Chain A
Amino acid sequence: MGLLTNGPPARVENGSAKAAALPAGRFRTAVLETVFREDRLFLILSVFIGVFAGLAVVCFRFSIDWCRLYLLGTGAVLTPSRMILAPTLAGLVIAALVMHLFPATRGSGVNQTKAALYIYNGNIPIRTAIGKFICATLAIGSGHSLGPEDPSLQIGACLASTLGRRVRLSRDRMRLIAPVGAAAGLAAAFNAPISAVLFVIEEVIGHWTAGILGSVVLAAVSSVVVSRWFLGSESLFRIPPVELKHPSELIAYAILGVVGGIASVAFATGIATLRPRLKALPRWTQYFQPAAAGLMIGLIAFLGAPQVMGAGYEAIDEAMHGRFTWQFLAVLAGLKILATTLSFVSGTPGGMFAPTLFIGAMLGAAVGGVEHRLLPHLTGSPGTYALVGMGVLFAGFLRAPMTSVFMVLEVSGNYSIIVPVIVANTFAYVISRGLRPVPIFDVLTRQDGLDLPSMEEQREEGVLHVEDAMRPVEVPVVNAQDSVEQALREANSAGVDGVLVRLSPSGWSSIAKQELQAMVDAEVGGASLSSLLSDRRIPYVHPDLPLETALRYVDRWPLVPVVSRADFRKLEGVISQRDVLERYREFGET
């Protein structure tokens, strides 16, 4: 915006110039002040947050694996007794821990991080991280159908919050520090920094600002460096060669998008329907809900689908490499929806990212398998479909369309897959939105009695612009070279209270008829307006600016010119306080 006002004087930023004029003690203070400004400290802290979150996630992964070894055994084939007993007994322990020691660890962790940002000024007790670590380890390690990514996100956010409190950050910074930790935790868990940054921006913070973006990126990158140091740089699953055989194959991906959209709706509906019902049951039942969920998951595994237990990365890997028939893949997708719904609604702490990827991969590979049978020469490998399927469910179920695309790109490291991913994800997203207008995270928030901002609603909220409220120019417009008498004549003939003055070489001003009349009466009517108005510039706005920008000026200047961006002297219209308020009133009514 080309506003020309007399603002406060620019601050002196040059430290050396300042230091030269100061005594030694104050010089030291000035140097420290320059070096340790809070925004810089925040950036440095982001690196530490990344490192600590990365280390925590590495330990979390080790713990889950150890837990799995001891509870489910070391072999690829589980014994029936372990299959059934491990998740059931672990469920009892988890329920006791959640109900008596760590009540804030229920759920995935994404909403809790959002709540920290919007409600609790960025404060998340460290106890939550400890509880999440223990409970999620037990849950995932014993075979509950949940993933480690969302808990990692919450653990990262908790660590960041604790660090922020320790260094006594300001309230504004404290609010932002939880998402920074969340990005670090998620990046380390996913081994995908870009997707983590995007997810946090897209789903937790909701908007892009330069201030937060730098910190989020730094934290995510440093946490990924740490996790790769210990866990290696390989992706969570081995990616087979991906290919788009022929442009007509996009139709097949569109079908995958439709199927994925419907599956997302089924998954979300299951959780949204069952969760409040189970929560409404008597409190004593909550001691047994995770165990009951565990028992049912154990039975599913016992009846032939042990792949649904735990995060399921091995099964995703196998599906990607074509090791299941399409029929079995479809069954696995359905059973995973059931198993994850059971685990999640029972209040067992754990994430939904991994199950979402699992369901997507199975569904994708199944659809790919069917299409390959029908059109063997036109379809790519099942791995390609599984990969696209993961993005589809991410877009449809978690409703993070940007993250879903970048996640697939980042995980596959193959740019050629972008078109199928966009096509499939778009279909899934549109179908999911059409059938379930409220995203699952927002549903869960509202079920918990909170009112956190919906990022999807925010993204799509209508924004009013200046052009929506401006009106045509009705007042006379005169040039700065014109005389006062000429301007008064224009005002009289138009029957208005004043005129707008186009200054030279650029800028605008205005003058009231009374003022002009007073000058004429004082016999200075022959003077040019420029000599009188050189220091009376008024701000101007452009038609495409948000209407709230105009709101800042219309109370001080009765009429604000709206000028073209291409030619600042060309007047597109004018806007007044009444115009703005009128437009907001109409908008509110619609």
Chain B
Amino acid sequence: MAESLDGKPAGDEAPRFRLHLTQEPVTLVVLAVLAVVLFAWVGGLSRLYYAQREALGNRWFARGVEDARTQKYSAAVIEFRSALLYNRDDYAYQLNLAEALIGAGRSAEADSYLVNLWDREPENGVVNLELARIVAQKGDMEAALRHYHNAIYAAWPNDEETKRRDARLELIEFLLNKGARAQAEAELIALEANAGDDPELQERIGDLFVRTVDYERAFAAYRVSLRSEQHNPAIEGRAGEAAFELGRYPLAHRYLQAALTANAEDTRSAELLKTTELVLGMDPFQRQVSVAQRHRIVVEAFKVAGERLDHCSTQKAGEWQTNVAQTSLAQRWTEMNPQITEATLRRDPDLVEKAMDVVFDIERQTSTSCGPPTGPDLALLLIAGLHEGN
């Protein structure tokens, strides 16, 4: 605005300036009122707008949930995406979309949603579990463990204990598939501590312990399970197998026998039972065996071992001639063979152990060089394992 040096309006500008002086306060008041009125009007418009968006979002979400429930994941993905158009930050919409994407086999797409959800709620169990599955698929062991553990200790919306337990079971499966047996066993021990008497869970724990080669705990779990389901042939069979692996053959015999009685088709139990019976019948060191019977068993075992040695030396002729240990084993058997009769054993009871030492050595050696034994040879090898170090 042009002004004279003393600050007054100059020339033609003076009327305009005076106009300003009188009109400006009015103008500003009018503008303020207008702003308030428009603000209120846009506020009303905004409520209408958001109400419509919310309704549309909920409508699409409901459709998505319905389709996901009936496993129409592709349709559910589209519907959840539509719902997200109206509220892109809605946690439930995003989570359901991620789950639908996983259901539709589009884990890579789900990943980004889950990462976003995880950023917002790092303690959410569902998100951690889904993320754990995705990173586990990618083979990222460290991240998978982190997310599985987060899921195990996470907050779950309902049935918290079951969800946590299932997450841990899934983690154990993952670790076993990755060959991390020690870690899997540690998780299993933690799981077992809170497992209670649920027969199905105990059965599963037993199976998992079997996979970690911890037969002791596996057997214990099966026994807990059998307390609730006393005549479950499947569990009895597996308890028998665990006892068999532990070398507790009388127990194994009991469980396997029971399993087979209930289910004659159980070939695995039948096979194990047969071996168990052989073990029980061919172990000369059992307390309840009489002296005469023991001698008979030793003679029979020595003969079986000799046949195995003979068979193996024929099979691996070239190797046997050059292998010093094996040659000496054959020599020991040949030297001792004339002495191993029931009469000689009666005269010299010390020969029992010496003869059985040769038998065990032969079975161990042949199992290494000629493959796993079967039948009586297998029984002798198992008996060797039982008395190892004695």
Which residues in A have some Cβ–Cβ distance to B below 8 Å? 8-9, 11-12, 29, 32-33, 36-38, 41, 44-45, 48, 51-52, 55, 58-59, 62, 65-66, 69, 74-77, 163, 166-168, 170, 226, 230, 234, 238, 240-241, 314, 317, 321-323
Contacts and interface: CB of A to CB of B under 8 A. Distances in A.
Interface in B87-143: 88-89, 108-109, 111-113, 115-116, 119
A48 B31 contact: yes
B73 interface: no
A328 to B, nearest CB: 12
B45 interface: yes
Interface in B213-240: none
A12 B45 CA distance: 51
A11 B119 CA distance: 61
Given A36-B25, A62-B45, A167-B27, A48 B35 contact: yes
A58 B50 CA distance: 12
Nearest to B48: A62
Contact of A230 (B24, B43, B109, B113): B43
A396 B267 CA distance: 75
B155 interface: no
Contacts of A317: 88
A45 B39 CA distance: 17
Contacts of B28: 44
A51 B116 CA distance: 34
Contacts of A230: 42-43, 46
Contacts of A45: 31
B1 A38 contact: yes
A62 B46 contact: yes
A315 to B, nearest CB: 12
Counting chain A CB atoms within 10 Å of each CB, the highest count among B23, B42, B46, B119 belongs to B42
Nearest to A40: B24
Interface stretch (B78-86, B296-304, B308-316, B344-352): B78-86
Counting chain A CB atoms within 10 Å of each CB, the highest count among B7, B19, B78 belongs to B7
- 10 closest A-B pairs by CB: A76-B81, A321-B112, A76-B82, A75-B82, A36-B24, A322-B112, A32-B21, A230-B46, A48-B31, A38-B1
A553 to B, nearest CB: 22
Contact of B88 (A33, A55, A238): A238
Contacts of A163: 31
A76 B74 CA distance: 13
Interface in B223-263: none
Contacts of B45: 59, 62
Contact of A33 (B19, B21, B35, B56): B21
B55 to A, nearest CB: 10
A87 B126 CA distance: 42
Interface residues of B, number: 43
Contacts of A321: 112-113, 115-116
B20 interface: yes
Contact of A76 (B7, B53, B78, B113): B78
Interface of B: 1, 5-7, 16, 19-21, 23-25, 27-28, 31-32, 35, 38-39, 42-43, 45-46, 49, 52-53, 56, 60, 78-79, 81-82, 84-85, 88-89, 108-109, 111-113, 115-116, 119
B357 to A, nearest CB: 58
Contact of B7 (A33, A58, A323): A33
A453 to B, nearest CB: 26
B38 A52 contact: yes
Given A41-B24, A74-B56, A76-B81, A238 B19 contact: no
Nearest to A75: B82
7 contacts: A11-B6, A11-B7, A36-B24, A51-B35, A52-B38, A168-B20, A321-B113
A74 B82 contact: yes
B118 to A, nearest CB: 11
Given A168-B19, A323-B109, A77 B43 contact: no
Given A29-B21, A74-B82, A55 B39 contact: yes
Contacts of B109: 323
A37 B46 CA distance: 37
B3 to A, nearest CB: 9
Given A170-B1, A240-B116, 5 more contacts: A33-B7, A74-B56, A76-B85, A226-B39, A238-B89
Contacts of A33: 7, 21
A12 B24 contact: no
Given A8-B5, A38-B1, A62 B49 contact: yes
Contacts of B32: 48
Contacts of B82: 74-77
A314 B24 contact: no
A176 to B, nearest CB: 14
Nearest to B116: A321
A105 B27 CA distance: 29
B46 A38 contact: no
A44 B20 CA distance: 14
A495 B1 CA distance: 52
B5 A11 contact: yes
Nearest to A41: B24
A65 B86 CA distance: 10
Nearest to A241: B119
A94 B51 CA distance: 29
Contacts of A36: 20-21, 24-25
B85 A314 contact: yes
A58 B116 CA distance: 27
A74 B1 contact: no
Given A62-B45, A75-B60, A76-B78, A234 B24 contact: no
Contacts of B112: 240, 321-323
Contacts of A234: 89
Contacts of A48: 31-32, 35
Contacts of B1: 37-38, 170
A12 B85 contact: no
Contacts of A11: 5-7
B210 to A, nearest CB: 38
Contacts of A77: 78, 81-82
A226 B38 CA distance: 11
A77 B46 CA distance: 25
Contacts of B24: 32, 36, 41, 167
Contacts of A65: 49, 53
Contacts of B115: 240, 321
A168 B5 CA distance: 23
Contacts of A66: 49
A8 B7 CA distance: 13
Contacts of A75: 60, 78-79, 82, 85
